[in-house]
Structure 1
Amino acid sequence: MDSRRTLHALRRSLAQQLSLTLADVACRLPRTVPSRPLTVMGLSFPSPLGIAAGYDRNGRLARRVAALGFGFNEIGSLTADGLAQLEPMSRGEARLGINLTLDARRSAADTCALLRKAWPHADYLVLNLIGPTSAPLLSHAVRLRTLLTALREEHQQLNLEGKRQVPLIAKLRCLPKQVPFLLASMLLDLEFDGLLAAHDPGPPATRERYRAWQDSQQQALACEQIEGLRRFCGPGMALISVGGIQTASHLQARMDAGAELVQVHTALLHQGPWLARHLLR
């Protein structure tokens, strides 16, 4: 079993690197791309479709993905070591998000330092609450609230001192019968700018799971979750949806349900770098 998992991980890593290389080349090719500009969280986006964290983990493509039709690119999830290794971000019209690893083993001071280091590079920041290192925090509500409060206060101070508004959002898992209303309530109390709802259970991604998202009932369930979060959060909090978007109808359905922005990841691996052109038509 371990050897099969290792082989699967190796194949996925190779597929990821190949896809990233193809996207890098495609960014350099002159081609007309669809434009659907919008403003969310006070930021202007060339389109509502973006790339999820984990694809361009280290920012190789960065803001250049606008040349492919993507309105934003979220890099990471990053630790302090990952941030230190980032190269200068390339220019482009796409917005750049930085997804930060929340590690229950780190102190609030260390995590605030991570936020400070990421702030100058980002158009928006994401606190990742679906990674394995953040799992212990979810079972300790008081500790989690204390940490998020410290991070929010640090973030507000950075925006004030830096004289620009870098939105702060949190990434939460959103699975069947597990819509994170309690966590969303905490974000509302702390006046976070947005919530990123992850409808997929996470790695390892398989072809079977990719095909499963072609089921209309599974797509409808994700839309129901977004609708529920929109009703709960109201119009003041931005909603981003990620997980299972493969077609133009999937994208439109998530936006009709209440998501202002939508991210893709696995579909890029399967459909190639011109995915945004097909989804935004």
Structure 2
Amino acid sequence: MAGLLPTLALPLLRQLPPETAHALALRGLGLGLAGHDRARADPRIAQTLFGRHFPNPIGLAAGFDKNAVAVRPLMALGFGFVEIGTVTPLPQPGNPRPRLFRLDAERALINRLGFPGEGLARVLPRLAALGQRSVPLGANIGLNKEGAVPERDYPALAIALAPHVDYLTLNISSPNTPGLRDLQASARLAAILAAVKRALPEAPPLLVKIAPDLSEEALAAVVETALAGGAGGLIIGNTSVRRPPGLRSPHAGEAGGLSGPPLFAHARVMLARAARLAAGRLTLIGCGGVGTGAEVLAMVRAGAHLVQLYTAFVYQGAALLPRLRRELLVALDAGGFARLEDARGVDIASLAETSWNI
């Protein structure tokens, strides 16, 4: 049964510091201990986007497998696509520990990792060795904390990674690298997109991952800049530096980016606003607090083509994926939709008028 051993190990892993548990989980995945999801793909939730086949809309967000050490085992769990990274040009240790915190009462996380990773040179051989892949693969790219030149570094990363992935994601929204979120400003984002296009005219689809903390005006500017710069889509969104009222966990006041269920309602409204602005011209990936099949469908109804998750996978393990797909099919039937595509965007008009709060 896929995911049985890791699921049984989850209570033990949660007794360990979060980063230690994460490292052990990755090692177990690399050893093949997570099993393989052998359920037949259901064509009702399959899509073709960017010319690639996505067997289901549920993807693993960047941040879980930063260094591409467990790509095949993760794909085998039943994700519809997997995104590795964030990959930086050079290795770096990230921020001082502790830098990852569980908010168990909310089943959420706060991280201030700061892009720790082995760097491009170590990641590339692992991607090159993958060969044919069972689902689409994305690479999330970002900047080193020191010595970064965005108009130089993003294109260099794109050139190196493009032959090995199905899409690239510009991470300009992590709150844990000084100055990174400033790149969401129209002029800075336009310059980066132009630099990547000049360096790699035939680049794979280029997505932009944005912060959930953007104002309505800033979101509108990002959408127009992405369109003008030839981006293929947006990921909405990254972790939040804001703290919704009512968080009960002892670590709720830690600095860093919040992820998990407290972001879901706002992420969905933000997604609907972006979908209304984009008017079908961008592929949108909803991300923020998704943990049930009904929530996957809710993101699709808000305009998402695809959905990513991270925190729910950390808390629930490999058994999450088969459950999400079953629940998604039940939710489709309950909503009277024959296929996933029939549900896309049906709530945009109502959600886009919802108050803008987080």
TM-score, structure 1 as length reference: 0.81
* Number of the residue aligned with 1:99: 140
Point out the structure with max Rg over C-alpha: 2
Task: Say if 2:278 is the partner of 1:278.
Answer: no
Give yes or no for contact 2:190–2:226 (8 Å, CA) kept in 1. no
Q: How many residues align?
A: 261
3-state DSSP of counterpart to 1:130: coil
Which residues of structure 2 form unaligned runs of 5+?
1-13, 91-118, 253-257, 327-358
**Cα offset for 1:273?**
1.1
Task: Say if 2:84 is the partner of 1:39.
Answer: no
Matching of residues 200-279 of structure 1 within 5 Å? 200-201=239-240, 208=249, 214=261, 219-279=264-324
* Number of the residue aligned with 1:170: 208
Match of 1:142 among 187, 190, 214: 187
- Evaluate the alpha carbon distance shift between residue 69 and residue 267 of structure 1 in structure 2; reply closer, same or farther with a 3 A threshold: same
* Number of the residue aligned with 1:48: 57
Task: Say if 2:153 is the partner of 1:114.
Answer: no
Give yes or no for contact 2:65–2:71 (8 Å, CA) kept in 1. yes
The letter for the 2-side match of 1:146 is A
Cα distance in 1 for partners of 2:227, 2:212 equals: 17
Percent identity between the two aligned chains: 30
Which residues of structure 1 form unaligned runs of 5+?
1-7, 160-165
- Evaluate the alpha carbon distance shift between residue 255 and residue 134 of structure 1 in structure 2; reply closer, same or farther with a 3 A threshold: farther
Give yes or no for contact 1:27–1:68 (8 Å, CA) kept in 2. yes
- Evaluate the alpha carbon distance shift between residue 40 and residue 133 of structure 1 in structure 2; reply closer, same or farther with a 3 A threshold: farther
Task: Say if 2:227 is the partner of 1:191.
Answer: no
Give the stretch that moved more between structures: 65-74 or 34-43: 34-43
RMSD: 3.0
* Number of the residue aligned with 1:163: none
- Evaluate the alpha carbon distance shift between residue 173 and residue 140 of structure 1 in structure 2; reply closer, same or farther with a 3 A threshold: closer
3-state DSSP of counterpart to 1:180: helix
3-state DSSP of counterpart to 2:314: helix
- Evaluate the alpha carbon distance shift between residue 26 and residue 92 of structure 1 in structure 2; reply closer, same or farther with a 3 A threshold: farther
**Cα offset for 1:79?**
1.1
- Evaluate the alpha carbon distance shift between residue 85 and residue 262 of structure 1 in structure 2; reply closer, same or farther with a 3 A threshold: same
The letter for the 2-side match of 1:148 is L
Give yes or no for contact 2:138–2:166 (8 Å, CA) kept in 1. yes
- Evaluate the alpha carbon distance shift between residue 29 and residue 70 of structure 1 in structure 2; reply closer, same or farther with a 3 A threshold: closer
3-state DSSP of counterpart to 1:59: coil
Cα distance in 1 for partners of 2:197, 2:292 equals: 35
The letter for the 2-side match of 1:109 is R
**Cα offset for 1:20?**
2.5
Cα distance in 2 for partners of 1:226, 1:70 equals: 21
Task: Say if 2:219 is the partner of 1:180.
Answer: yes
Give the stretch that moved more between structures: 10-19 or 119-128: 10-19
3-state DSSP of counterpart to 2:286: strand
Task: Say if 2:166 is the partner of 1:127.
Answer: no
Match of 1:57 among 38, 62, 66: 66
Structure having the larger proportion of residues in helix = 1
Give the stretch that moved more between structures: 180-189 or 89-98: 89-98
Task: Say if 2:55 is the partner of 1:14.
Answer: no
- Evaluate the alpha carbon distance shift between residue 115 and residue 134 of structure 1 in structure 2; reply closer, same or farther with a 3 A threshold: farther
* Number of the residue aligned with 1:3: none
- Evaluate the alpha carbon distance shift between residue 139 and residue 49 of structure 1 in structure 2; reply closer, same or farther with a 3 A threshold: closer
**Cα offset for 1:213?**
5.1
Cα distance in 2 for partners of 1:42, 1:207 equals: 44
Give yes or no for contact 1:193–1:238 (8 Å, CA) kept in 2. yes
Match of 1:72 among 72, 76, 81: 81
- Evaluate the alpha carbon distance shift between residue 29 and residue 230 of structure 1 in structure 2; reply closer, same or farther with a 3 A threshold: closer
Give yes or no for contact 2:185–2:222 (8 Å, CA) kept in 1. no
Give yes or no for contact 2:208–2:233 (8 Å, CA) kept in 1. yes
Cα distance in 1 for partners of 2:241, 2:28 equals: 24
